[in-house]
A = this chain, B = another copy of it.
Amino acid sequence: RGVDKGVDFANYFCTYSFLYHQKEMLCDRVRMNAYYNAVFDNKDHFYGKTVLDVGTGSGILAIWAGQAGARKVYAVEATKMAEHARELVKANKLQNVVEVIEGSIEDVNLPEKVDVIISEWMGYFLLRESMFDSVIFARDHWLKPTGVMYPSNARMWLAPIRSRLADQKMNDYEGSMGGWRSFLDETRTYYGVDMSVLSKPFSEEQKKYYLQTSLWNNLHPNQVIGTAAIIKEIDCLTVTVNDILNVRASISSTITAEETRLCGFAGWFDVHFRGSKENPAQQEIELTTAPSENHGTHWGQQVFLLHPPICVGERDNLDINFSMARSKENHRLMETVNMDKGYGWFSGLHQF
């Protein structure tokens, strides 16, 4: 079924029109430091240049680009947040440099092509929200042939983990099914209707909700029990929408912890600011959302649980087939259709 653009935009942009939500991103110090350093440690890429900020939100990246000496910054934002961005630009005395344009990047018209596209487009596990499609669109329409992308590269990672969430979710599921059984009794006794024919679909619905939906979590590094593997590498200058519609990878991971429980897998991403081959960054900056004791991000990690957990030991080898696609109902959501070790102990649809 096709996705109606109007429906999609109405739903998707809703949260971004709240300052509260923009503030959550502006409070993520790992994110802020990375972009801040990317701009100010690489002033050569900005000084005297033209810049496009795709999805400027509060306007923060556009303002930094202006402060770093850009000649002109086009700051495009689809939501009413554009009005706040415009105020903020003015209050920071950059109204002659930063032009805020309210509209979706797919619809706006710029008077010129730009030297740099900067954007913070990353969703949960990198690709949720599918906002990178809009950045690719911007690049293909508005970046000069010699232009650079900020960030320039992105990678997705997967690693085996242990987590109490696995038990908790199984408990939740079993609690819900217990409640269902009393519900069946009561409905039969008091209201004369036998609902047991719905037990199977109800159990499937609840399994999907509790056991097959991937979870947001900020993991502690010691919950990662094996080597992490890259499942996708993206060169922001050359990638096409087609390249990111699906993520498929066959990877290996070696258990590094002693005798423990494999409770599932965690996915995260990093992005790099390297400029381009012709135009490398003075200072390469990394933004990583890997499990970290002190540098967690609002993205956290995406956790795919396994039910029941498996006992594993040091040096055990896992061969994993990972496959992720956009959800058919909502192209901004993802479905990991398959994640198995060949002999079937881990396979199932995980949505997020």
Interface set of A (CB-CB < 8 Å, partner B): 4, 6-7, 10-11, 18-20, 23, 26-27, 32, 36, 58, 60, 63-64, 67, 84, 87-88, 90-92, 176, 180, 183, 187, 190-198, 201-202, 205-206, 209
Contact = CB atoms under 8 A, between A and B. Distances in A.
20 contacts: A4-B7, A18-B205, A19-B201, A19-B202, A19-B205, A20-B176, A20-B205, A20-B206, A23-B202, A26-B187, A58-B195, A60-B193, A64-B193, A84-B198, A87-B197, A88-B195, A88-B197, A88-B198, A91-B194, A91-B197
- The complex is assembled from copies of this chain, and their number is 2
A1 to B, nearest CB: 11
A43 to B, nearest CB: 14
A330 to B, nearest CB: 10
A201 B87 CA distance: 11
Nearest to A87: B197
Given A10-B7, A198-B84, A193 B23 contact: no
Contacts of A64: 191-193
| Interface residues of chain A: helix, strand, loop or mixed (majority) | helix
B67 A201 contact: no
Contacts of A19: 198, 201-202, 205
B205 A67 contact: no
A47 B197 CA distance: 26
A194 B87 CA distance: 11
A343 to B, nearest CB: 33
A198 B87 contact: yes
A286 to B, nearest CB: 18
Contacts of A176: 20
Contacts of A67: 192
Contacts of A194: 91-92
A162 to B, nearest CB: 29
Contacts of A87: 197-198
Nearest to A196: B91
A206 B92 CA distance: 24
